[in-house]
């Protein structure tokens, strides 16, 4: 009976995740022929086909899908072990690693994490990245939890655990003293606008309101990054749609003025985790604290 070669299994796992033999070979710094040979050797040892090969396209067979699920579990547990060993086998005082979505408002994140910083017996590392890298880092146990404004659904490959922590109202702001009412009417038709990009749930809510009120907008700029939206709102002279917390300093100083709060439109923040056999002992209490804080404000 052939023993499973975990080196070959690792190569299979990488190819299955990336979906392209050439790209995987480049990332692993091996030749494409060597990578292909390793996977063929794994298939021969297991007595199954893991991929359907059509030209340069690779798709998983049914056996390949089953093997991938086991490989995901095996290598995620290995990453978890590495992190545990790196912490000196002292999980009580291990660093809490928090990922944050790069396009979220810094003000929003700061308001959320401020209570954590009062925990004198914990050390925190914050890493900012895009959503795809955030989820990959969580799956590979490089993060203890992540903060994002994008809701995530689980799949047969990965069971995400999502907790709504907070939401912030979305408002229309602009230069002070414009002749605008508190209702979305024809006065807003003559204005220039700075908006989130069309992929944003905030943009979806705003576009639905515009359709309801038959309002046509002259969009002069779009951005998917809250820091950029803040700068554009402050300096463009246009009206902007964004979470109120993003421009709270400008509103307090009078640089910007709030004209309207969009009904039933919020910037949400979720805490994402993945199931792990061993978690930081303080993680559950920290998330509970954040959840209690959110419940008090929702």
80: CB partners within 8 A, 6+ apart: 141, 276, 277, 278
Given the DSSP bridges, would you call strands 145-148 and 239-243 parallel, antiparallel or unpaired?
Answer: unpaired
Measured at the CA of 96, the angle between CA 161 and CA 266, to 5 degrees, comes to 50
What are 223's strand-pairing partners?
A: 196
Pick the CATH number of 6-84 from 3.40.50.1980, 1.20.810.10, 1.10.3720.10, 1.10.10.10: 1.10.10.10
Rounded alpha-carbon distances, angstroms, from residue 13 to 33, 77, 78, 82, 102: 17, 14, 13, 18, 28
Given the DSSP bridges, would you call strands 161-174 and 257-273 parallel, antiparallel or unpaired?
Answer: antiparallel
φ and ψ of 243, to 5 deg: -60, 140
Burial letters for 171-201: b for 16+ Cβ neighbours within 10 Å, e otherwise? bbbbeeeeebeeebeeebeebebbbbeeebb
pLDDT in tens, 85-137: 665 545 545 678 889 998 888 888 888 777 777 766 677 888 999 988 998 88
Helix, strand, or coil (residue 264): strand
What pLDDT is recorded for position 136?
A: 87
Burial letters for 267-278: b for 16+ Cβ neighbours within 10 Å, e otherwise? bebbbbbbeeee
212 CA to centre of own chain: 31
- Evaluate whether 165 touches 269 at the Cβ level (below 8 Å): yes
Q: What is the DSSP string of 30-43?
A: S-HHHHHHHHHHHH
What pLDDT is recorded for position 233?
A: 94
Residue ranges of domains in the chain: 6-84, 88-166+269-297, 168-267
- Evaluate whether 114 touches 161 at the Cβ level (below 8 Å): no
Low-confidence stretches of the chain (pLDDT < 70) are 1-2, 55-56, 80, 83-94, 119-121, 154-158, 277-282, 291-298
C-alpha–C-alpha distance, residues 226 and 243, integer Å: 9
Q: CATH code for 88-166+269-297?
A: 3.40.190.10
C-alpha–C-alpha distance, residues 94 and 92, integer Å: 6
Domain 168-267 is of which CATH architecture? 3-Layer(aba) Sandwich (3.40)
What pLDDT is recorded for position 6?
A: 87
- Evaluate whether 275 touches 161 at the Cβ level (below 8 Å): yes
Residue 93: Cβ within 10 Å count: 13
What pLDDT is recorded for position 278?
A: 63
User: What angle do the packed helices 226-235 and 106-113 form, to 10 degrees?
Assistant: 120
Strands annotated E in the chain:
51-54, 57-60, 96-101, 124-129, 145-148, 161-174, 192-196, 218-223, 239-243, 257-273
What pLDDT is recorded for position 277?
A: 62
What pLDDT is recorded for position 171?
A: 94
237 CA to centre of own chain: 31
What pLDDT is recorded for position 83?
A: 67
Asked if 6-84 and 168-267 have one fold, the answer is no
Q: Which two tokens stand for residue 191?
A: 């204005």
What pLDDT is recorded for position 298?
A: 44
């Amino acid at each position: 009976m052939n023993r499973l070669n975990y080196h070959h299994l690792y190569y299979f796992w990488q190819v299955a995740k990336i979906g392209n033999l050439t790209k995987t070979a480049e990332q692993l710094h091996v030749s494409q022929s060597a990578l292909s040979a390793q996977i063929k050797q794994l298939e021969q040892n297991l007595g199954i086909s893991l991929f359907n090969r059509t030209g340069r396209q690779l798709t998983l067979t049914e056996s390949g899908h089953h093997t991938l699920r086991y490989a995901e579990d095996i290598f995620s547990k290995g990453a978890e072990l590495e992190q545990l060993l790196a912490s000196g086998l002292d999980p009580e005082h291990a660093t809490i690693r928090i990922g944050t979505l790069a396009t979220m408002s810094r003000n929003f994140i700061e308001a959320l994490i401020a209570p954590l910083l009062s925990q004198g017996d914990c050390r925190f590392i914050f890493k900012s990245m895009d959503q795809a890298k955030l989820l990959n880092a969580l799956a590979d146990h490089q993060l203890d939890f992540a903060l994002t404004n994008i809701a995530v659904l689980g799949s047969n490959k990965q069971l995400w655990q999502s907790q709504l922590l907070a939401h912030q109202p979305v408002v229309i702001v602009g230069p002070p003293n414009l002749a605008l009412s508190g209702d979305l009417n024809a006065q807003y038709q003559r204005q220039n606008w700075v908006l989130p990009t069309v992929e944003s749930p905030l943009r979806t809510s705003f576009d639905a309101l515009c359709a309801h009120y038959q309002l046509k907008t002259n969009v002069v700029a779009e951005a998917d990054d809250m820091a950029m939206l803040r700068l554009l709102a402050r300096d463009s002279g246009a009206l902007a749609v964004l979470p109120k917390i993003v421009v709270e300093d400008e509103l307090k100083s009078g640089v910007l003025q709030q004209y309207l709060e969009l009904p039933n439109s919020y910037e949400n923040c979720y805490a994402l985790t993945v199931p792990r056999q061993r978690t930081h002992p303080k993680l559950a209490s920290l998330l509970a604290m954040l959840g209690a804080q959110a419940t008090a404000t929702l």
